[in-house]
Amino acid sequence: MERLLPAAITIGLMAAMLLLAWLGWRARRRRQSSFAPPHRVPEMLSAPAYLTEAIAHATTLAGQPLERVSAHGLGFRSRIKLGVHDEGVVLAIPGDEPILVPAADLIGIGRGTWTIDKAVEPDGLTVLSWRLGDTEVDTWLRLPARDDRELIDAVRARIPNASSTPDERSTDDA
């Protein structure tokens, strides 16, 4: 009986924290509900110039590696298939329709060390910057071989005005 009150208080606090987390996630989704939906992959697509599997750790607002985008299924960590085509970059998330980031919406690509819920060795993440409608976002990727030079070159070749894209993007200053 003497342990019943502390156990009830602990269970009540844990339930309250779960409720607050759920309410916070719901509020974030509501705030981001106006974000344009991502483009779906067209039926006819060119052959991939680069194809790999990766882990998408997060999609965040551009330049804000702690502000997760939860709209349109982009808020969750997932293994993905990543393809670079003439039309743009395809992010194929299991259980969902693949997303096409059109070449016209690509902003840049580089490297980073940390984002929300993930920190790795220096430059261990690849950061794909793109436009989701009018909103600029960053998708944080971890490639299995950790050699992203071929991916970076393939994406940069498709970025409009690529000469103005910085060679490396680092979030250590953020």
Per-residue pLDDT of 97-141, as tens digits, reads: 899 999 999 999 999 888 887 888 888 899 999 999 999 999 999
What are 161's two structure tokens?
């005005």
Q: Note if the pTM is more than 0.75.
A: yes
Q: Pick the closest to residue 59 from 5, 8, 130 (CA basis).
A: 130
Q: Which residue has the higher pLDDT, 110 or 161?
A: 110
Scanning the chain, the segments in alpha helix (DSSP H) are 4-31, 149-156
What are 17's two structure tokens?
């924290």
Percent of the chain with pLDDT over 70: 92
3-state DSSP call for residue 18?
A: helix
Contacts of 122 (CB under 8 A, 6+ apart): 113
Q: Are 139 and 127 in contact (CB under 8 A)?
A: yes
Contacts of 38 (CB under 8 A, 6+ apart): 72, 74, 99, 100, 101, 132
**Does residue 163 carry a pLDDT above 60?**
no
**Predicted pLDDT of residue 174:** 41
CA 20 to chain centre: 24
**Predicted pLDDT of residue 26:** 87
Domains in the chain, CATH or no CATH each: 39-164 (2.30.29.30)
What are 153's two structure tokens?
């070159």
